[in-house]
Amino acid sequence: MVNPHPHFDDKGTLDWQTRYAEALAAAKAQGKLVFIELGRLQCSQCKTLVQNIVTRPDIAPVLQQHYIALAADADDSEDEVIDLAGNLDDAYMLPFVMFQHRQKARWTLLMSTLHPVRRALVSVSDKAGIEDFARGLVACGVQLLSTGGTYAALKKAGVPVTEVSEHTGFPEMMDGRVKTLHPKIHGGILALRDDAGHVGSMKEHAIAGIDLVCVNLYPFEATIAKAGCTREHAIENIDIGGPSMVRSAAKNHRFVAIVTDPADYAVVLDEMAQHNGCVTEATKRRLAGKAFALTARYDALIAEWMQKDLATAGLAESKWPASYALAGRKVSELRYGENPHQTAALYVLGGRNEPSIASAEVLGGKQLSYNNLVDLDAALALAKEFDEPFVAVLKHNNPCGAAAGGTILEALSGAWDGDPVSAFGSVLAFTRVLDMACAEYLVSGNRFVEAIVAPGYDEEALKLLTEKPKWGKNVRLLVCPFPQTARDARDVEVKKLVGGFLLQDRDLMAAGEGECKVVSKRAPGSEELAALLFANKVCKHVKSNAIVLAKGTRVLGVGAGQMSRVDSVHMAIRKAGDAVKGAVVASDAFFPFADGPELALKAGCTAILQPGGSLRDAETIAAVDAHQAAMVFTGLRHFRH
């Protein structure tokens, strides 16, 4: 036991940090525990010691004190004080150190932050690993309490366990809805072991402490993801008792370990083996944070489902709820974020059935990067616009090539030829299984891509892509089966702001032939109109200001992200080159002036599609008519920022 008060060496230099770091390291070498008398941390140097020394991995385990005032006189013997302390409940008071404040005429008990686990409540829906965990707890001398299916499973496995109804003296009822919502459960979890009033209440009402709670929740997320899930079935899979116990234990994590993840079973058992049946304070804090994250996600999923259910029934006051939370579950930590100095992680949202990059299966290649995932998500969104064989080529979140074809190889070659320079190092999205012909095309010449997402891969194609030098170890291959109808109109887009976020509907609309209003003297021919509608679907997925030039079902040039629309037209024409003659033009928003259409028409374009709505629409229409070209208005703008 040490008192870390500042120490001055012979030269008058403050050397307490070095002195005690050495002492604690020596204690670790001798296999000792160290009890540090930290007072009430009024001394700033002592606070610094706690922050900078006692958390270091190279020192001995440190037991930090708590104060418990005992109803003892200063002249009581040590044996009398020990008896008094024992009456509080030695399950929580040991190990402890006590000393006598003669001047203050009272005894003080110093209680360790390490508290032995004597009793645990185990009730899980996901029973993976629970039998081994329960056996490990019993081997550490822990009494087990359990409920329902978990109790039955442990009993069948021969693990000593007491049913909660026997512990509380109150039967489980209402089809299991009421079983753990009882003072003997929550009192045992929430009681502060160093509060004389709490301990007194435990004694008075015969409440035994519960030192570890192992709970995971009813599978609400999996339930609502099933086809044909009824409202009644979803409601029955909303857990009440589980989250209540999780939150109680997490709140009182100074005394109670809350375990919600099977991945933590081994960690907890290992610590109990090392620390005489105790779980360290650091681990209990980490587990508590994990537990609150679990219940937050669980509640967010329920709230989102409820809001959609209300909207479907026509009972929602607004489509947009008063409070909104994203229910994300971490899938992986990424190498870095958008740039190497930024950290990042991938989360998957619960309650979604739509095929997505977040839930896609990765078959091989390097670890996906932040930018890979963003580009793949954009590529997949574009591919979902098309039912026919189609390939999208994306770079920096913008299409640089896109084409449909009679076969998936025709679509791939057409998309690549749209901008072969930009296509190098791009990501690709396919609407058909990637076959051997496509694989051979990709690995030939000087072609290379960062990642591919497709509904599947032929066996030979997959073998070639994964074994070809330069490709096999580098190119990320993802499988994501998707029909166009898989797009979920109820899902929303989220745009993060500093200090907030925006929600909006997804832009899933695209003008069809019936939505196109001919505003020029000449109407577009059938081939021109088909090309315009194709270009418009691609243009939806280009960053504004967006211009797409196309011929047939192949993109020739893209003008993306320019601050003026005429500059985007310039860029698209340059990308199209000589192929521009006879091309059609799609614009994501209206032309504010006639200069953009004039530029395209002089380059050889024959038809234009735009939303319309400019004050100068008449000037643009006149320019189109002067070139004997065609123009249609859709009334639908597709800004993308």
Q: pLDDT (tens digit, 9 = 90+) per residue, 140-154? A: 999 999 988 899 999
Choose the CATH number for 352-486 among 3.40.50.300, 3.40.140.20, 3.30.70.260, 3.40.50.2000: 3.40.140.20
CB 538 within 8 A of CB 402: yes
Q: Which fold does the domain 516-633 belong to in CATH?
A: Cytidine Deaminase; domain 2 (3.40.140)
Place of tokens 């009972």: 315
Specify the pLDDT at position 485: 57
The rounded distance, in Å, linking the Cα atoms of 143 and 131 is 14
Tokens of 222: 């999996």
Specify the pLDDT at position 46: 54
* DSSP result, 321-372: -SS----EEEEEE-S-SSSTTS--EEEEETT--S--STTPEEEESSPPPHHH
Q: pLDDT (tens digit, 9 = 90+) per residue, 59-93? A: 445 444 444 444 445 555 555 555 555 444 433 33
354/179: higher pLDDT? 354
The rounded distance, in Å, linking the Cα atoms of 9 and 31 is 28
Total H helices, total E strands in the chain: 22, 26
- Indicate the pLDDT class of residue 400, thresholds 50, 70 and 90: very high
Specify the pLDDT at position 327: 82
Q: Could you tell me where in the chain the CATH 3.40.140.20 domains are found?
A: 352-486, 516-633
Residue 12: pLDDT over 80:
no
For the chain, the average pLDDT equals 84
Q: Does residue 87 have a cis bond before it (omega within 30 degrees)?
A: no
115 is catalytic: no
Q: What is the mean pLDDT of residues 424-435?
A: 96
**CATH class given for the domain over 119-303:** alpha beta
Pairing of strands 584-587, 607-610: parallel
- Indicate the pLDDT class of residue 219, thresholds 50, 70 and 90: confident
Catalytic residue among 127, 396, 468, 627, which?
Answer: 396
- The three-class DSSP label of residue 435 is coil
Sheet of strand 106-111, all strands in order from the earlier edge strand to the far edge: 67-69, 106-111, 96-101
Nearest of 373, 374, 372, 413 to residue 390 by alpha carbon: 413
CA distances from 76 to 96, 100, 107, 195 (A): 18, 10, 9, 22
Range with the poorest average pLDDT among 80-84, 373-377, 398-402, 419-423: 80-84
The rounded distance, in Å, linking the Cα atoms of 478 and 346 is 15
Residue 41: pLDDT over 80:
no
Specify the pLDDT at position 518: 97
How many residues are listed for the chain in this entry? 641
Range with the poorest average pLDDT among 114-123, 150-159, 397-406: 114-123
- Indicate the pLDDT class of residue 277, thresholds 50, 70 and 90: confident
CA distances from 416 to 107, 420, 430, 447, 589 (A): 82, 5, 12, 9, 26
Q: In which region does residue 241 sit, left (phi positive, over 0), alpha (psi from -120 to 50) or beta (all else)?
A: alpha
**Beta carbons within 8 Å of 26's beta carbon, 6+ residues apart:** none
Q: What is the mean pLDDT of residues 484-510?
A: 86
Specify the pLDDT at position 201: 83
CA distances from 378 to 35, 363, 396, 550, 575 (A): 57, 20, 10, 20, 21
- Indicate the pLDDT class of residue 352, thresholds 50, 70 and 90: confident
Residue 189: pLDDT over 80:
yes
Place of tokens 């032939």: 513
251 is catalytic: yes
CA distances from 41 to 4, 15, 61, 282 (A): 11, 19, 19, 19
Specify the pLDDT at position 159: 93
Specify the pLDDT at position 433: 96
Q: pLDDT (tens digit, 9 = 90+) per residue, 95-120? A: 344 444 433 333 444 445 577 899 99
Range with the poorest average pLDDT among 44-53, 422-431, 492-501: 44-53
Specify the pLDDT at position 97: 40
Residue 209: pLDDT over 80:
yes
CB 432 within 8 A of CB 454: yes
Residue 42: pLDDT over 60:
no
167/464: higher pLDDT? 464
**Beta carbons within 8 Å of 305's beta carbon, 6+ residues apart:** 220, 224, 234, 351
Long-range CB pairs of 397-400 (<8 Å, 24+ gap) are 397/543, 398/541, 398/542, 398/543, 398/558, 398/560, 398/561, 399/538, 399/541, 399/542, 399/548, 399/555, 399/558, 400/426, 400/558
Specify the pLDDT at position 48: 55
Which amino acid would we find at residue 6? Answer: P
Catalytic residue among 251, 290, 463, 521, which?
Answer: 251
Specify the pLDDT at position 491: 82
